[in-house]
Every structure is written in C-alpha cells, then in structure tokens.
Amino acid sequence: MKPVTLEQIELDLETAAYVERLIPPVHIPGYRNCMPEICYTPQEIAFMDHRPVPPRPTPEQIAIWEKVVLEWMPILEVDERKIVWKRAKHIPWKLLCREFGLGRTKMNQLYKNCLVKILGSITGKMCAQKSRGHFCKK
C-alpha cells in the first residue's frame, strides 16, 4: 500500500467535491407522475433536440467520495469541514477569509492543519491494521 501524502488527500477531496456535483438529485417517488403521458410519433421524435447525456461518476470516484464524506469529514469539526470542503470546490481564499473573518495566512494554516489531522487519522488506522501482533514505526 502506498503511503498517503497531503497532495493525495487534496486530490481526493477535489474528486469528492466533483462527484458531489455529478450525483443526480434525489426526487420524491411518484412526484413526476402527475402529468399525463404524451405519445410522440416517430417523426416528432426524429425532429426533437436531444439533450446530451450528463456525465456520471465512475465507481472509483464514488468510492473516493464515500471515503471522504463518511470517514474523513467526521474527524474534523464543523468549521474545519466547511473550510476543507469549500477549498476542495475551489472557492477563492478571499471569499473564505470574508466568511470566517480571518486573514489569508491564518486560513491557509487552518486548512493545512485540517489536512494534517486527516493524514494523522489515516496513518493511525493503517498503523493499527498493520500492528496486529507487530509494532508500528512512526
């Protein structure tokens, strides 16, 4: 297993934010059945403008999204989650600084500390899995 780096954590966070955009919205069952069914002739279907199929996330991307949302985000506090997630969505530092009322260097420091906290949790879990009967080197 490859060692996890801060860059890899950042890439996984960005992938999770991208997958979040691609996941289709949740609809109430039966909500779209309120209109009567419209029957089109083959000629009408041929002249219709067809919408392009939206991209769907791959199983690997969904696995990364689940790992980030279900394992990494609960490690962080609420404000830390907001910082990390908005940064993964490429929200500019200027807007984040205004929202949290902090300077750019302090925001960057908090962001890096959050990544280190995630990295520490991951390496701790890997270390616990490896150390069943063995000592873990840090």
Q: 111 with 83: CB under 8 angstroms?
A: yes
Please give the structure tokens belonging to residue 123. Answer: 């390496």
pTM metric for this prediction: 0.77
Give pLDDT, residue 96.
95
Please spell the DSSP secondary structure of 16-63, one letter per residue: HHHHHHHSPPP--TTGGGGSPP----HHHHHHSPPPPPPP---HHHHH
Whole-angstrom Cα distance, residue 136 to residue 71? 22
pLDDT on residue 138: 47
Summarize pLDDT for 26-73 with one digit per residue, the tens.
877 766 666 778 888 998 888 888 888 888 999 999 999 999 999 999
Considering only CA atoms, which of 114, 56, 125, 61 is closest in space to residue 85?
A: 114
Question: What average pLDDT does the segment 86-106 reach?
Answer: 95
Q: Domain boundaries in the chain?
A: 1-21+55-138
